[in-house]
Amino acid sequence: MSQQFTTFKRFVSERYKERKTKHEGLGLTSPGFNVFFANYLAAHGFGEWLNTLRGLSLTEKQCYLVGATYVCFGQREHKAIPGILAHLHRYYDVTLPVVEGLLTPEYWQQVLSDEQQPA
């Protein structure tokens, strides 16, 4: 089975759809996605999502999405992203692309300067 990269927001969205279907089957009303998302992040953090990245070879764009996720949803500063990527490489067997400066804070300061929310 081939794994594919999925963004954190899409990962949580899939969990929300599963939960909503279960609730509807029981005749219950589900909270809205934003409430579910906030509760999911508080209860689970990024751990379950990171497990879906295990063994993947990331592209530069996917690295950007991981970094932007940590900045946007994890309240991390851009200078923490090189350490997070190194952690993924070491403990999740994630292969990083060969991109000049990828593991430097300066690279992340430049690419995340727009501070746009990841998809």
Nearest to 89 by CA among 105, 110, 66: 66
Q: Per residue in 80-101, pLDDT tens? A: 999 999 999 999 999 999 999 9
Average pLDDT, the chain: 90
pLDDT for the residue 119: 58
My answer on whether 105 and 77 are in the same domain is: yes
Q: Per residue in 18-72, pLDDT tens? A: 888 876 777 766 678 899 999 999 999 999 999 999 999 999 999 999 999 999 9
Nearest to 118 by CA among 75, 57, 80, 72: 72
Residue 90 lies in a domain: yes
The number of domains in the chain is 2
* Domain membership of residue 25 as a residue range: 7-44
Residue 92 lies in a domain: yes
pTM, entire model: 0.86
Beta carbons of 88 and 46 less than 8 angstroms apart: no
